[in-house]
Amino acid sequence: MATDQIRVFLVDDDPLVRDVLTRYFQSTDDIIVVGTASNGADALEQIDPSAVDIVLSDVHMPKMGGATLLRNLAQRPNTPAFLAITALESDRAMLDVLANGGRGYILKSQPPEEIILSVRQAVTGGTVVSPAAMNSLVQYIAPQQQPSSTPQRPEMPAGITDTEIAVLDLLCEGLSNADIAKRLNYSESTVKKQVSHLLTLFDVSSRLDLVVTVLGGRR
């Protein structure tokens, strides 16, 4: 095993899901599944923090769910990164995971390449949330404005274009790349490139980190 491989421990009560996720990661050169468990309790017994980089866990499971697993792991030294993956959107579950140090909340229905990218971003310190859940999360992290007040724009980094600012504003509204493309009449691939450049300009590793940085600057 290459030393730079990302070591993933999968936790899900559905064996089919564990198998599908394993096959997703087998298609990569940099991610390897080092263990699996059917619930949080079993995972706690098996996980060796020194041998795991990230725990990819379902939220709702018998015996012990994902949020409880995360809280237990957080009490151990050298806690691996934790990324929740679920079939059901839940604001409460998402906030619980993020509040307890989870690196993100994604959906099983997302394309394989998005799930793979989320794992990579979470391991490098980014916070990732599925596009479907982003809109809900923005409502919690956006600063409260008085009806008569105008949101202030934080200082923009050098090199940002007017088009990228427009994309950034829509990102902060919780829109997905596809929605932004429709709103601005661009191709989705163009929006994806602009978002990637925005991540570089703001020196962040995920869309959520970008939104939090910008909205924080508007307070």
Separation CA 134–CA 172 (nearest Å): 9
pLDDT value of position 136: 63
The position carrying tokens 């018998």 is 62
Residues 114 and 31 in one domain: yes
60's CB contacts (< 8 A; 6+ apart) are: 66, 86, 88, 93
Q: Provide the domain limits for residue 212.
A: 142-217
Residues 115 and 149 in one domain: no
Separation CA 191–CA 109 (nearest Å): 22
In a domain, residue 89? The reply is yes
In a domain, residue 196? The reply is yes
In a domain, residue 135? The reply is no
pLDDT along the chain (219 residues), means of 10: 80 95 95 96 93 94 91 88 85 78 88 92 84 66 48 72 87 78 88 88 80 66
In a domain, residue 75? The reply is yes
Residues 124 and 147 in one domain: no
Separation CA 192–CA 150 (nearest Å): 28
In a domain, residue 23? The reply is yes
Residues 110 and 187 in one domain: no
Reduce the DSSP state of residue 128 to 3 states and report it: strand
Residues 161 and 117 in one domain: no
CATH number for the domain including 57? 3.40.50.2300
pLDDT value of position 141: 60
Residues 26 and 98 in one domain: yes
In a domain, residue 82? The reply is yes
pLDDT value of position 178: 79
pLDDT value of position 2: 47
* Number of domains composing the chain: 2
In a domain, residue 94? The reply is yes
pLDDT value of position 210: 81
pLDDT value of position 188: 84
pLDDT value of position 83: 94
Q: In this structure, which amino acid lies at residue 10? A: L
CATH number for the domain including 147? 1.10.10.10
Reduce the DSSP state of residue 202 to 3 states and report it: coil
In a domain, residue 185? The reply is yes
pLDDT value of position 217: 55
Best CA proximity match to 79, nearest among 41, 53, 111, 42: 53
Residues 170 and 210 in one domain: yes
79's CB contacts (< 8 A; 6+ apart) are: 49, 73, 101
